Structure 1
Amino acid sequence: MIRTKKTFILLLAILLSPVILFAQVGKAEKDSSKTVLFAAVPVVNYNNSLGLMMGGMTSGYYKLNKKDTISPSSFSMLAGLYTTNKSYMGAIIQNLYFNEDRWRFKGIAGTGSFYFQYLQGLPGGSSGKLQNNGIWIDFDTDARFVLAEIQRLVFPHFYVGLEAMLMHAETTFELPVGDLKPKIISDLNSLGYTLAFDNRDNVNFPVNGFFINFKNRFVRDWVGASDNYDNYEIAANYFWDIKKNSKTVLVSRLYANIASGDVPFQGQNTIGSDDLRGYSKGEFRGNQVYAIQSELRQNVYKKIGVVGFVGVGSAVDEFSEIKDNGLLPSIGFGVRYLMIAKEKINIGMDVGVGKNDWSLTFRIGEAFSR
């Protein structure tokens, strides 16, 4: 455990160093807007699970090499959140593009404590089924993680990469009867590889092209994990400029996240976030999540835009359970404001509605772009 903690701190320092560097560069420049472009959005939200949520996100966009006109701009992001049920989280995200986009690096580090819930199915039922058939159980998860991914261009638009993650999670359950509070402690350390095809015309706001990303992670005891299982994640996105004027864009997306083997509670997947928006209770969870979605993005006036999205998905332990469990619907809309025209960076808000649930999401950038 001591070695894992020291390694976590070391990797966190490595991830933080580019952010500290770009912040110092911004201070040194008299006109930092020419070197680093900033976007920020406050987060004020409410749902029945977490209560009132308050926080913010800020990001900076910059070129690692001003002479490199092919690589997209790199960016650093900081995000923080606190809720009235005493949950909190903080994260740093670092994306680097360099050597004429032949190399891509992604780093994420975060820590937090979330008081949440899940629906425990009754005998003969399942927490993934559409009908409410079970008991709500509260739990608190304290977690910290560091993830690093490096990709190399090997053929036109085709990238191959490696990914490593350190994650420690402690989950305490509050049972509806008695005073027992069982705890699950898991280390979800993993190594894996990534394959990606990316011919989008822009990484921040694509209007044409494909972005297909596949990841295979191996959670094993020989990298310090407490369980042994595999994780497969695939996201296939297609961007279509309908009117060929960059103002009306249709995005189609197929998504699957599959955990197979000795999967602990913390290694399961839940319906929510970008796949699918409209779910915030944590009701639908399982080893596997599947989703199909479409989103229409429309510019309405100068820097103002709107989006509408619809989709269906399912959370199951085995693919064969989808037929019995049924599909979960998702529908919603959002507003956008073009905050950094040079980088095509939008900030905005999405409202999603699902089966007996809803969500409100503030964002920098678009869904499905990274």
Structure 2
Amino acid sequence: MNKYSLLLFLVATPAILQAQLKDKADTTATISAPRGFFDNIMYYLRHTNVEKKKKKVDLSFIGGPVYTPETSFGIAVMMAAQYKTDKKDSLLPVSNAAIYASAALTGFYGIGISNTTIFPHDRFRLALKASFSSRPNKYWGIGYEAGNNKDNYTEFVQLTEKMLADFAVNLNGKLFVGLCAQIHNVQSRKIDTAGGKPLMQPEKILGIGAGPFIVYDTRDFIPNAYKGIYVRLGYRVFPSFFGNNAVFSQYDVQFDWYKKLWKGAVLATDLYGEERAGEVPWSLMAEAGGSNRLRGYYEGRFRDKSYLAGQIELRQKIYNRSGMVAWVGGGNVFHEFKELALDQSLISYGIGYRWEFKKRVNIRLDYGRGKDQSGFYFGINEVF
């Protein structure tokens, strides 16, 4: 769902560049009403990042054709929204939401939402991510050695329903405590049962968990921080009385740090870890890869009970609303900490393009490489 590719960038770039060139012309000339379909698109793109202070909710849309190795050709659309729960409070952080949908020729389709709501006086915060997708997928098995055997996988169709919600109470302006709830429902269909290939068991898994967390947050802007730190410690339990067939617990820790270096440059660092204990189903194990961490690896190729990852990213504004990023990162999946091996580290590096879709909210296109894989990723907001 969150992996898109170069084709959308190639289609959108000429329009974006022309819109940026017209931005400066508009500052010295009277803006005339747009004429025709293409002029309307140019007018729209030039003004997506203009603050609409009189509107309760600032909405913008973008879409186009996409391609990925996993899903083939398709089409994707996104809607971004910014709003304040108290418009009179100039110090209140901006709330934001993104809704996306896509479909592809392979039969893939999905919808999702990502939302952070800051309540009046920043007393409470609600972060929500929810999605549904049906997509062709691959299963390599559990552990580094299974994923390292690149060509030994089982093809199947995965139907996934996910919801993750954090509700936090502000204690002193920077310190938050709250409760996290998770629902993760996976069904496997059309499984290739050819001999010698790893099979996922069971085929239907429902995981419902909840637990406390604590956050320390000094970021200046949540979707695209220029400075500050973000620290999160969380714990979730998946008990039988929630309806889980497998009982287990999960710890997670995240540390993000942002620093301005020079004009238009931000250095961003992300450290992340997960550990699970108990009978963890294959679809609820930690997964390396995807569009946020270890970009370049097929998401889920490497999976196990525990996961450590780190990345450092240089973000540089280039011209007007355009910017570039470069990053390097690494990570490990392992069963227990005593089995952590540096020679099994997964290295990720790459570059990306950023276009300011809304004020300090970027559309991103990244190209990431792993040791034997690579991929393009298209999305909204920074990866961390």
Report the TM-score, using the length of structure 2 for normalisation. Answer: 0.79
Corresponding residue number in structure 1 for 2:375: 359
> Contact conserved, 1:106 with 1:149, CA < 8 A, in 2?
yes
Tell me if 1:241 matches 2:260: yes
Letter matched to residue 306 of structure 2:
Q
Following TM superposition, by how much is the alpha carbon of 1:72 offset from its aligned partner in structure 2, in angstroms?
A: 1.4
Letter matched to residue 332 of structure 2:
S
Letter matched to residue 346 of structure 1:
N
> How many Å separate the matches in 1 of 2:342 and 2:150?
14
Tell me if 1:345 matches 2:374: no
Tell me if 1:152 matches 2:146: no
Corresponding residue number in structure 1 for 2:209: 190
Following TM superposition, by how much is the alpha carbon of 1:70 offset from its aligned partner in structure 2, in angstroms?
A: 2.4
Going from structure 1 to structure 2, the CA distance change for 1:84 and 1:270 (only over 3 Å counts) comes to farther
Tell me if 1:114 matches 2:135: yes
> How many Å separate the matches in 2 of 1:278 and 1:108?
23
> How many Å separate the matches in 2 of 1:44 and 1:193?
41
> How many Å separate the matches in 1 of 2:65 and 2:194?
31
Corresponding residue number in structure 2 for 1:22: none
Output aligned runs, 1:48-59, within 5 Å: 48-59=69-80
Once the two structures are superposed, residues 213-246 of structure 1 have per-residue CA deviations (whole angstroms, 9 ceiling, x without a partner) of: 2221111111122211111222111001012x4x
> Contact conserved, 1:289 with 1:314, CA < 8 A, in 2?
yes
> How many Å separate the matches in 1 of 2:240 and 2:362?
42
Which secondary structure state, in structure 2, belongs to the residue aligned with residue 356 of structure 1? coil
Following TM superposition, by how much is the alpha carbon of 1:107 offset from its aligned partner in structure 2, in angstroms?
A: 2.3
Q: Which runs of 5+ in 2 are unaligned?
A: 1-51
Aligned counterpart for 1:75 among listed residues 93, 96, 107: 96
Aligned counterpart for 2:120 among listed residues 74, 95, 99: 99
Corresponding residue number in structure 2 for 1:218: 237
Letter matched to residue 147 of structure 1:
L
Aligned counterpart for 1:88 among listed residues 88, 95, 109: 109
Output aligned runs, 1:118-129, within 5 Å: 118-120=139-141, 126-129=145-148
> Contact conserved, 1:281 with 1:357, CA < 8 A, in 2?
no
> How many Å separate the matches in 1 of 2:142 and 2:238?
27
Which secondary structure state, in structure 1, belongs to the residue aligned with residue 229 of structure 2? strand
Corresponding residue number in structure 1 for 2:350: 332
Going from structure 1 to structure 2, the CA distance change for 1:242 and 1:225 (only over 3 Å counts) comes to same
Corresponding residue number in structure 2 for 1:232: 251
Going from structure 1 to structure 2, the CA distance change for 1:109 and 1:231 (only over 3 Å counts) comes to same
Corresponding residue number in structure 1 for 2:183: 166
Corresponding residue number in structure 1 for 2:328: 310
Going from structure 1 to structure 2, the CA distance change for 1:288 and 1:40 (only over 3 Å counts) comes to farther
> How many Å separate the matches in 1 of 2:119 and 2:373?
42
Tell me if 1:199 matches 2:215: no
> How many Å separate the matches in 1 of 2:64 and 2:207?
29
From the two aligned structures, give the one with the greater strand fraction. 1
Once the two structures are superposed, residues 23-47 of structure 1 have per-residue CA deviations (whole angstroms, 9 ceiling, x without a partner) of: xxxxxxxx88733223434364434
> How many Å separate the matches in 2 of 1:313 and 1:60?
33
Percent identity, aligned pairs only? 26
Going from structure 1 to structure 2, the CA distance change for 1:72 and 1:312 (only over 3 Å counts) comes to same
Letter matched to residue 188 of structure 1:
G
Following TM superposition, by how much is the alpha carbon of 1:258 offset from its aligned partner in structure 2, in angstroms?
A: 2.1
> How many Å separate the matches in 1 of 2:277 and 2:104?
33
> Contact conserved, 2:139 with 2:200, CA < 8 A, in 1?
no
Aligned counterpart for 1:255 among listed residues 255, 272, 276: 272
Corresponding residue number in structure 2 for 1:21: none
Following TM superposition, by how much is the alpha carbon of 1:57 offset from its aligned partner in structure 2, in angstroms?
A: 1.8
Tell me how large the CA RMSD over aligned residues is: 2.5
Output aligned runs, 1:20-31, within 5 Å: none
Following TM superposition, by how much is the alpha carbon of 1:98 offset from its aligned partner in structure 2, in angstroms?
A: 1.3
Following TM superposition, by how much is the alpha carbon of 1:78 offset from its aligned partner in structure 2, in angstroms?
A: 1.2
Figure out how many residues of one structure are paired with residues of the other and give that number: 330
> How many Å separate the matches in 1 of 2:60 and 2:203?
38
Letter matched to residue 110 of structure 2:
M
Following TM superposition, by how much is the alpha carbon of 1:93 offset from its aligned partner in structure 2, in angstroms?
A: 2.6
> Contact conserved, 1:127 with 1:134, CA < 8 A, in 2?
no
> How many Å separate the matches in 1 of 2:119 and 2:201?
47
> Contact conserved, 2:142 with 2:302, CA < 8 A, in 1?
no
> How many Å separate the matches in 2 of 1:86 and 1:133?
24
> Contact conserved, 1:259 with 1:267, CA < 8 A, in 2?
no
> How many Å separate the matches in 2 of 1:33 and 1:353?
44
Letter matched to residue 155 of structure 1:
N
Going from structure 1 to structure 2, the CA distance change for 1:281 and 1:365 (only over 3 Å counts) comes to closer
Once the two structures are superposed, residues 278-324 of structure 1 have per-residue CA deviations (whole angstroms, 9 ceiling, x without a partner) of: 11264222222211110000011121110001111112222333317
> Contact conserved, 1:39 with 1:364, CA < 8 A, in 2?
no
Q: Which runs of 5+ in 1 are unaligned?
A: 1-30
> Contact conserved, 1:40 with 1:58, CA < 8 A, in 2?
yes
Tell me if 1:290 matches 2:315: no
> Contact conserved, 1:121 with 1:133, CA < 8 A, in 2?
no
Following TM superposition, by how much is the alpha carbon of 1:367 offset from its aligned partner in structure 2, in angstroms?
A: 1.4
> Contact conserved, 2:288 with 2:299, CA < 8 A, in 1?
no
> How many Å separate the matches in 1 of 2:100 and 2:150?
36
Letter matched to residue 265 of structure 1:
W
